[in-house]
């Protein structure tokens, strides 16, 4: 038996129960993994509340790092004792001491990357990699708007944008978060609680607007984000921290100057072994070259995950958060 979080219904943080579960032996193509650390991500909130549906009872958690304990039939490239990590494609179930998981979604960890760092960065770091390097490949001198610049994704994006020579305009809700984003490399920071972010983006860009907006806030910022784009700009809507974007007319894109819109997810950018290894490899290289440091600003025991969710939803966290089984 192993300890794990299960939900039997969707709802608030209190629906997460810390229970004993049977893990069993890995089936064909699977391994049994003992987690040293587990990542906390906003997507876990969407599954807990039911915004993203899943069969119940179900597990939660999309990201972890640890050691392989057993290998199923047909697994190649991984062995008992390997240090590995994963994010996004293993299905929910990372909130556990041990789990079964497909070997297809694992990557081996370089010795220089700790379990804590891996659990904190795999999902958020690979997401920033595909957003800045693949969805809209950026070049030095570009200016972008990136919301929630002091969050897990945000502090990684601030550093990665700086490393690329990109002028990132970031939004945050407090002055403390503004200081964190600025220190991480975000060129301009807007407090969207006290300032009109559309007007500020126009001021900063001399009225031109930005060619790309990265919006993970959703409902509260979507229309304002479209207003920040220059003609033929790209709206990257990649999350819904304030709620899902309501349906809107396609003419909204035409009237603002032939805008583009994409709604990407990490799974599509790491769907093959080559794509996963390339995306993770780029992230590891950024960390190993010290262009990127992972700020683990919160740690919770796995059994205290309800508090972790309340803090994340309550906008009390900054940078990345891990759970320790
Ligand atoms: P964060 O650490 O960024 O936490 C979310 C932040 O969103 C908060 O800290 C808060 O920052 C801001 N926010 C704005 N409005 C609200 C609100 N109403 N309720 C709560 N938070 C709000 O989380 P992550 O780094 O884990 O994820 C960031 C976003 O990226 C999420 O929307 C997530 O779903 C998305 N994502 C998408 C992926 C994809 O591939 N599509 C992959 C990974 C993440 P502030 O107080 O400064 O406003």
- Which pLDDT score is estimated for 90? 87
Query: Which atom number of ligand 1 is nearest to the Cα of residue 318?
Result: 2
Nearest to 121 by CA among 145, 94, 153: 153
Report the helix count and the strand count for the chain, using DSSP H and E: 10, 15
The answer to whether 101 touches 33, Cβ cutoff 8 Å, is yes
Q: Give ranges for CATH 3.90.180.10 in the chain.
A: 2-121+270-324
Angle, helix 42-49 to helix 305-313, in steps of 10 degrees: 100
Task: Give the ipTM.
Answer: 0.99
The answer to whether 172 touches 181, Cβ cutoff 8 Å, is yes
Q: How far is the CA of 79 from the centre of ligand 1 (A)?
A: 35
- State which fold the 2-121+270-324 domain adopts: Quinone Oxidoreductase; Chain A, domain 1 (3.90.180)
177 within ligand 1 shell (Cβ under 6 A): yes
Tens of pLDDT, residue by residue, the chain (325 residues): 999 999 999 999 999 999 999 999 999 999 999 999 999 999 999 999 999 999 999 999 999 999 999 999 999 999 999 999 999 988 999 999 999 999 999 999 999 999 999 999 999 999 999 999 999 999 999 999 999 999 999 999 999 999 999 999 999 999 999 999 999 999 999 999 999 999 999 999 999 999 999 999 999 999 999 999 999 999 999 999 999 999 999 999 999 999 999 999 999 999 999 999 999 999 999 999 999 999 999 999 999 999 999 999 999 999 999 999 9
Whole-number Å distance between alpha carbons of 190 and 43? 25
The answer to whether 1 touches 22, Cβ cutoff 8 Å, is yes
Q: Give ranges for CATH 3.40.50.720 in the chain.
A: 140-263
Structure tokens that stand for 235 in this block:
């709206």
Nearest to 181 by CA among 167, 195, 193, 171: 171
Query: Which atom number of ligand 1 is nearest to the Cα of residue 314?
Result: 20
What is the separation, in whole angstroms, between the first and last Cα of the chain?
Answer: 14
173 within ligand 1 shell (Cβ under 6 A): yes
> What is the CATH number assigned to the segment(s) 140-263?
3.40.50.720
The answer to whether 279 touches 126, Cβ cutoff 8 Å, is yes
Indicate the pairing of strand 167-172 with strand 143-146.
Answer: parallel
Distances (CA, A) of 221 to 47, 145, 197, 211, 240: 22, 12, 9, 17, 10
127 within ligand 1 shell (Cβ under 6 A): yes
Whole-number Å distance between alpha carbons of 211 and 145? 9
191 within ligand 1 shell (Cβ under 6 A): no
């Amino acid at each position: 038996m192993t300890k794990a979080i299960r939900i039997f219904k969707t709802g608030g943080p209190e629906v997460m129960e810390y229970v004993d579960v049977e893990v069993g032996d890995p089936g064909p193509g699977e391994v049994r993994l003992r987690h040293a650390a587990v990542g906390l991500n906003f997507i876990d909130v969407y599954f807990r509340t039911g915004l993203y549906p899943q069969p119940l009872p179900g597990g939660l958690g999309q990201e972890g790092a640890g050691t392989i304990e057993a290998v199923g039939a047909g697994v190649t490239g991984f062995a008992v004792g390997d240090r590995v990590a994963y994010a996004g494609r293993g299905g929910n179930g990372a909130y556990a001491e041990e789990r079964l998981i497909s070997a297809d979604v694992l990557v081996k960890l370089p010795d220089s990357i700790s379990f804590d760092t891996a659990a904190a960065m795999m999902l958020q770091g690979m997401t920033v990699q595909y957003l800045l390097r693949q969805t809209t490949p950026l070049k030095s001198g570009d200016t972008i708007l990136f919301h929630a610049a002091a969050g897990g994704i945000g502090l990684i994006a601030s550093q990665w944008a700086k490393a690329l020579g990109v002028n990132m305009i970031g939004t945050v809700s407090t002055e403390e978060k503004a200081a964190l984003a600025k220190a991480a490399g975000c060129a301009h920071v807007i407090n969207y609680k006290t300032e009109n972010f559309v007007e500020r983006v126009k001021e900063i860009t001399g009225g031109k607007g930005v060619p790309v907006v990265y919006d993970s806030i959703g409902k509260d910022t979507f229309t304002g984000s479209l207003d920040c784009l220059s003609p033929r700009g790209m709206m990257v809507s990649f999350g819904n921290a304030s709620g899902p974007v309501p349906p809107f007319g396609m003419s909204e894109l035409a009237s603002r100057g032939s805008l583009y819109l994409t709604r990407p997810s990490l799974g599509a950018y790491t769907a093959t072994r080559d794509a996963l290894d390339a995306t993770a490899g780029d992230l590891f290289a950024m960390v190993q070259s010290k262009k990127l440091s992972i700020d683990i600003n919160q740690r919770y025991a796995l059994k205290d995950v309800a508090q972790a969710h309340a803090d994340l939803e309550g906008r009390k966290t900054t940078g990345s958060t891990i759970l320790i089984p």
